[in-house]
Amino acid sequence: MASEYWLWAAWIEKVMLYAGMAFVIGGSFMYLFLSKYQHLSKTIINYMLLGAVLGGISSIASFFIQVGSFANNGLQGMIDPTFLKILLHSPVGTIQITRTLCFSIIAVLLIAKNYRWSTSNPSWFSGVAIALASLIIVTSFSQLGHVTNLPLFAQILISIHIIVMSLWMGALFPLWKLSRTIEGMPLKDSMHLFGRIAAIIVGLLVVCGLTVAIMLLNIHILLTTPYGYGFILKLALVASILLLAAFNKWYFTPRLEHPRFAKQLSYAILLEMSLGLTILLVTGYITSVIGIA
């Protein structure tokens, strides 16, 4: 029973990691995309900062959860000196420390930008540093678990998949805020442009995700194992959110010059956010609690 508790804890921290990455990467994109709407800048920075904090906490928690699961001695096992030393000198420890440092750097840069502590730095410095730290975090996913046995090509696809997933999921909250603060043609033009960019994002997401899935799974795993069932559920949820996004693009966006459609769009984006969170929960569950048999 104790081992199950560690699996549930790993699930929670994995979802926190996914959410943190989405907030930082998607938030960074939307900060640039919505740069002309200065009233949203501080909200987006705080959103990204929340993501960096979530990501840092999840990385630290992941390390100690793994120590505790190996020690198998209750909560005090999380600080077992023997297993602490073993994990610290393992690839797992190196990656979790690297993620923690990267999220910490992002958080410090965002705090500095929010409170204007870094006025002596060039305007592009924080953006480049955040982008590099985010890229390091993304590439770390290909260095853990079963994906380490895949070819380099598959690992690159996984990294691209994670980036575009984070861009899409992380963009939803700023879009929702936008739909609540402006209306008419400015909102219509912004949503139309985002829809064109999102089409590319979704295309990359689907192609990369399905290609890696084909390399990882077979029909037997897909149809006869709990992991396969969870993956099918994830595909159904992804199909649902794609249909909703298409509905938003083709139905709401052309009508956004009318205020009532802007309000309806905000509700549709909230639903899209809920589906996105459900996808993250399912993904975290099948990768942390179930795993590929």
Q: What is the pLDDT of residue 1?
A: 39
Q: What is the pLDDT of residue 14?
A: 94
Q: How many CA atoms lie within 13 A of 209 on its CB side?
A: 18
Q: Where are the domains of the chain?
A: 1-143, 149-293
Q: What is the pLDDT of residue 121?
A: 53
Mean pLDDT by 10 residues, the chain (293 residues): 77 95 96 91 95 96 91 83 89 92 96 69 78 94 75 86 93 94 89 90 87 82 86 92 89 84 89 94 90 68
Q: What is the pLDDT of residue 30?
A: 95
Q: What is the pLDDT of residue 117?
A: 57
Q: What is the pLDDT of residue 281?
A: 95
